[in-house]
């Protein structure tokens, strides 16, 4: 039956758990789940497969395609999870990333009555009282929310983002299931895992709950508006806080064309090359100056207004780049520009997995080869997507773990370059980025900045020096009072313990079967008790039980695939 996992044991969770595993098995992932000891539910999944008319068609599809289809069928939480994974080329290979980028987050809209009830619950009044005009037909409908047009009582056009009623419970249930599967995978999935599945789910839980809280998106909009207040080429919609809650976000309605709609932009007389440059530079400013960037800048989230201003929408997913990360990033870029493999090596070694052995000479050799592959190649001939994927692949091979925000940035950069090249085929991301990176490095090496860093280092060492005597005194007191403890953690023994437990159970079972056979044989020899077919009935019963138990044991061993 269901193993012990950390999910709510209510009927809805159990039914959803069975549904999730059934869909995964029906899409050909039963073998990957077998090692998680989910025998009961895998058998249910196989029954679903046998009844699924698409069985043969699914079997012929590539694994990444089947994964994408399974996530879409599983619903909102799993679609969002797939979108998170699509921003992690350090976890998945390029073919999976490409396929997961196709995940569709479009669903049928919620019934009008439910939306009006949601507004009444959140804002305390009906739409007809709050707005002089409210469109019940959404302009966009996604898995978490849908957007409606409306007009305030003073005639101001607004866009209202409304969270789908009940979505929080669905997501909470699915997150518990994902956490349970992650726990099992970490326990039974082997030791050669660069990333902890439970840590990935923990990150996803944090991300999706931030997206569910629309006040956080509202604050992001306010911050972006403040960042670009003096930039005439960039605009961000206003937020109407009096008509906003954590489930409803009322914003200024932006009338514009998608940045990827080349024909409409051309007809409006816009300078496409200028739009490409301004949009890319605005994104670089988000990353390198403000440390907060749009995590999902796809064409639907970037509009061009009639006056040529570029407007960023949907800031529910953002990435954060603190000062240390910015230093790492600028050092990486400078190392690539200057063909300095030692600089690249020093930056990458700061992010390595300390529990894994790294062949530093092999890493340095691969870094030199990577740089040589792009040395003296004209910038217009460099494919940024290929460059980023090759670099991330190098990181994966050598157990280098960069923060997830850097991986989100890598995906966003590729998206930005794709949009810019649609507008201007001659656009090159690296060429546009080089002046910004150079200016940042010059600032970093400036006398004032070096002095600031030196004072920070000195202050840190001073704090350590001040705290050291007290720490040593505390340590000595603990030792003298026999209150000094060292906790040792044995990593990688969980699976060994589980296997030993299974082996001991099988041995005990074998001894029991052997004892039944020996005891039944002795009864046969004594010829005592009632007879059945001319043989002692107790002896025949013992043989029958031993045979049944033996077949059961053999079936279990064969099913596990470990003879």
In the prediction, which pLDDT does 282 show?
A: 93
474 is a domain residue:
yes
Same domain for 287 and 402? Answer: yes
**DSSP annotation of 487:** -
In the prediction, which pLDDT does 496 show?
A: 63
Half-sphere exposure of 345 (CA within 13 A, CB side): 16
Same domain for 148 and 114? Answer: yes
Domain housing 473: 449-485
- Number of domains composing the chain: 4
Taking every pair of Cα atoms in the chain, the longest distance, rounded to a whole number of angstroms, is 106
Same domain for 318 and 357? Answer: yes
Given a cut of 90, is residue 375 above it in pLDDT?
Answer: no
pLDDT tens-digit map of 479-528: 777 766 776 666 555 666 666 767 777 777 777 777 878 877 777 777 66
**DSSP annotation of 312:** E
- Domain C-terminal end among 231, 253, 275: 253
Q: How many angstroms from the chain centroid is the CA of residue 516?
A: 53
CB-count burial class (<10 Å; 0-12, 13-18, 19+) for 495: middle
- pLDDT (average), residues 80-104: 81
Given a cut of 90, is residue 158 above it in pLDDT?
Answer: yes
Q: Which is more confident, 93 or 382?
A: 93
Given a cut of 60, is residue 125 above it in pLDDT?
Answer: yes
Q: Which residues pair with 150 in a beta bridge?
A: 134, 158
Same domain for 415 and 275? Answer: yes
Same domain for 550 and 498? Answer: yes
103 is a domain residue:
no
Same domain for 238 and 344? Answer: no
User: Per mean pLDDT, which of 133-142, 148-157, 319-328, 529-538 is the most reliable?
Assistant: 148-157
Can you tell me the distance from the alpha carbon of 118 to that of 539, in angstroms, rounded to the nearest whole number? 72
Can you tell me the distance from the alpha carbon of 563 to that of 554, in angstroms, rounded to the nearest whole number? 9
* Residue 8 pLDDT level (bands cut at 50, 70, 90): very low
CB-count burial class (<10 Å; 0-12, 13-18, 19+) for 211: middle
* Residue 249 pLDDT level (bands cut at 50, 70, 90): very high
In the prediction, which pLDDT does 49 show?
A: 46
Q: Which is more confident, 194 or 248?
A: 248
| Percent of the chain whose predicted confidence (pLDDT) is above 90 | 21
Give buried/exposed letters for 168-188 (b at 16+ CB in 10 A, else e).
eebbbbbbbbbbbbbbbbbbb
pLDDT tens-digit map of 53-85: 566 666 678 888 888 888 888 888 898 888 888
Whether residue 181 contacts residue 164, with contact meaning beta carbons closer than 8 Å, is answered with: no
- pLDDT (average), residues 405-425: 84
Closest CA to 148 of 133, 132, 137, 156: 137
Judged by average pLDDT, the poorest of 129-143, 330-344, 492-506 is 492-506
Can you tell me the distance from the alpha carbon of 160 to that of 151, in angstroms, rounded to the nearest whole number? 10
Whether residue 165 contacts residue 117, with contact meaning beta carbons closer than 8 Å, is answered with: yes
* Residue 37 pLDDT level (bands cut at 50, 70, 90): low
288 is a domain residue:
yes
Q: Outline where 378-403 has alpha helix (H).
A: 384-397
In the prediction, which pLDDT does 35 show?
A: 60
Residue recorded with tokens 């240390």: 324
Q: Outline where 359-428 has alpha helix (H).
A: 360-374, 384-397, 404-423
10 is a domain residue:
no
Which of 90, 174, 176, 296 is an active site residue? 296
Residue recorded with tokens 């201003």: 309
Same domain for 470 and 455? Answer: yes
Q: Which residues pair with 319 in a beta bridge?
A: 293
Mean pLDDT, the chain, rounded, equals 80
Can you tell me the distance from the alpha carbon of 50 to that of 56, in angstroms, rounded to the nearest whole number? 10
Is 296 a residue of the active site? yes
**All residues at 6 or more sequence positions from 299 whose CB lies less than 8 Å from its CB, including other chains:** 258, 259, 260, 261, 419
Whether residue 423 contacts residue 273, with contact meaning beta carbons closer than 8 Å, is answered with: yes
Can you tell me the distance from the alpha carbon of 98 to that of 411, in angstroms, rounded to the nearest whole number? 11
234-235 and 256-258 beta bridge pairing: unpaired
In the prediction, which pLDDT does 303 show?
A: 93
Same domain for 235 and 127? Answer: yes
In the prediction, which pLDDT does 245 show?
A: 94
In the prediction, which pLDDT does 152 show?
A: 94
Backbone angles phi, psi at 92, to 5 degrees: -110, 155
140-141 and 145-151 beta bridge pairing: antiparallel
Same domain for 314 and 432? Answer: yes
Same domain for 462 and 554? Answer: no
In the prediction, which pLDDT does 326 show?
A: 79
Closest CA to 257 of 304, 309, 311, 310: 304
441 is a domain residue:
yes
User: Residue 189: which CATH number?
Assistant: 3.30.200.20
Judged by average pLDDT, the poorest of 144-153, 330-339, 366-375, 406-415 is 330-339
Can you tell me the distance from the alpha carbon of 204 to that of 174, in angstroms, rounded to the nearest whole number? 12
Same domain for 277 and 420? Answer: yes
**DSSP annotation of 36:** T
Can you tell me the distance from the alpha carbon of 421 to that of 288, in angstroms, rounded to the nearest whole number? 22
- Domain C-terminal end among 430, 457, 485: 485
Three-state DSSP state, 503: helix
Judged by average pLDDT, the poorest of 176-180, 265-269, 384-388, 513-517 is 384-388
Can you tell me the distance from the alpha carbon of 510 to that of 217, in angstroms, rounded to the nearest whole number? 62
In the prediction, which pLDDT does 220 show?
A: 94
92 is a domain residue:
no
In the prediction, which pLDDT does 122 show?
A: 93
Same domain for 234 and 309? Answer: no
Q: What does the block give as tokens for 506?
A: 């099988």
- Domain C-terminal end among 445, 473, 504: 445
9 is a domain residue:
no
**All residues at 6 or more sequence positions from 439 whose CB lies less than 8 Å from its CB, including other chains:** none
Give buried/exposed letters for 480-492 (b at 16+ CB in 10 A, else e).
eeeeeeeeeeeee
Long-range contacts of 119-127 (CB under 8 A, 24+ apart): 119/160, 119/162, 119/248, 122/245, 122/247, 122/248, 123/243, 123/245, 123/248
Can you tell me the distance from the alpha carbon of 440 to that of 182, in angstroms, rounded to the nearest whole number? 40
């Amino acid at each position: 039956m269901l193993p012990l996992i950390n999910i709510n044991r209510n009927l809805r969770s159990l039914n959803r758990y069975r549904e999730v595993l059934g869909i995964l098995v029906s899409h050909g992932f039963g073998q990957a789940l077998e090692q998680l000891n989910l025998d009961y539910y895998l058998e249910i999944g196989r029954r679903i497969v046998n009844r699924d008319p698409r069985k043969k068609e699914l079997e012929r599809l590539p694994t990444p395609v089947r994964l994408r289809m399974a996530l879409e069928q599983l619903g909102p939480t799993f679609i969002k999870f797939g979108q998170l994974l699509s921003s992690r080329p350090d976890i998945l290979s390029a073919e999976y990333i490409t396929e997961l980028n196709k995940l569709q987050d479009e669903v049928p809209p919620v019934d009008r009555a439910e939306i009006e009830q949601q507004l009444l619950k959140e804002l305390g009044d009906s739409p007809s009282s709050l707005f002089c005009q409210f469109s019940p037909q959404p302009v966009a409908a996604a898995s978490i929310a849908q957007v409606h047009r409306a007009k305030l009582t003073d005639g101001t056009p607004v866009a209202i983002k409304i969270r789908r009623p009940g979505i929080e419970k669905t997501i909470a249930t699915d997150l518990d299931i994902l956490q349970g599967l992650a726990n099992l995978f970490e326990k039974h999935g082997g030791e050669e895992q660069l990333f902890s599945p439970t840590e990935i789910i923990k990150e996803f839980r944090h991300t999706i709950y931030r997206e569910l809280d629309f006040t956080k998106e509202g604050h992001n909009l306010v911050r972006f508006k403040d960042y670009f207040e003096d930039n005439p080429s960039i605009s961000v919609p206003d937020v109407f806080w009096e008509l906003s809650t954590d489930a409803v976000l009322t914003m200024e309605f932006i009338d514009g064309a998608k940045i990827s709609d080349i024909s409409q932009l051309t007809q409006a007389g816009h300078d496409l090359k200028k739009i490409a440059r301004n949009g890319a530079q605005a994104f670089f400013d988000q990353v390198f100056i403000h440390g907060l960037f749009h995590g999902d800048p796809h064409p639907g989230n970037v509009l061009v207004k009639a006056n040529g201003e570029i407007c960023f929408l949907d800031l529910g997913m953002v990435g954060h780049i603190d000062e240390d990360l910015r230093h790492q990033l600028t050092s990486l870029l400078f190392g690539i520009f200057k063909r300095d493999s030692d600089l690249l090596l020093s930056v990458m070694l700061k992010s390595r997995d300390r529990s894994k052995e790294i062949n530093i000479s092999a890493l340095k050799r691969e870094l030199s080869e990577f740089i040589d592959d792009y040395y003296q190649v004209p910038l217009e001939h460099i494919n940024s997507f290929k460059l980023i994927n090759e670099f991330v692949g190098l990181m994966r091979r050598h157990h280098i773990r960069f923060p997830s925000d850097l991986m989100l940035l890598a995906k966003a950069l590729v998206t930005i370059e794709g949009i810019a090249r649609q507008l201007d085929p001659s656009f090159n991301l690296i060429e546009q980025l080089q002046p910004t990176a150079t200016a940042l490095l010059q600032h970093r090496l400036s006398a004032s900045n070096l002095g600031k860093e030196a004072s920070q280092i000195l202050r840190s060492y001073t704090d350590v020096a001040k705290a050291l005597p007290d720490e040593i005194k505390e340590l000595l007191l603990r030792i003298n009072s026999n209150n000094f403890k060292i906790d040792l953690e044995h990593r990688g023994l969980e699976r060994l313990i589980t296997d030993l437990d299974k082996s001991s159970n099988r041995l005990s079972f074998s001894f029991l079967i052997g004892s039944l056979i020996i005891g039944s044989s002795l009864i046969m020899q004594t010829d005592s008790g009632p007879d059945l077919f001319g043989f002692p009935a107790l002896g025949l019963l013992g043989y029958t039980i031993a045979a049944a138990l033996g077949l059961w044991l053999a079936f279990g061993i064969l099913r596990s695939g470990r003879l």
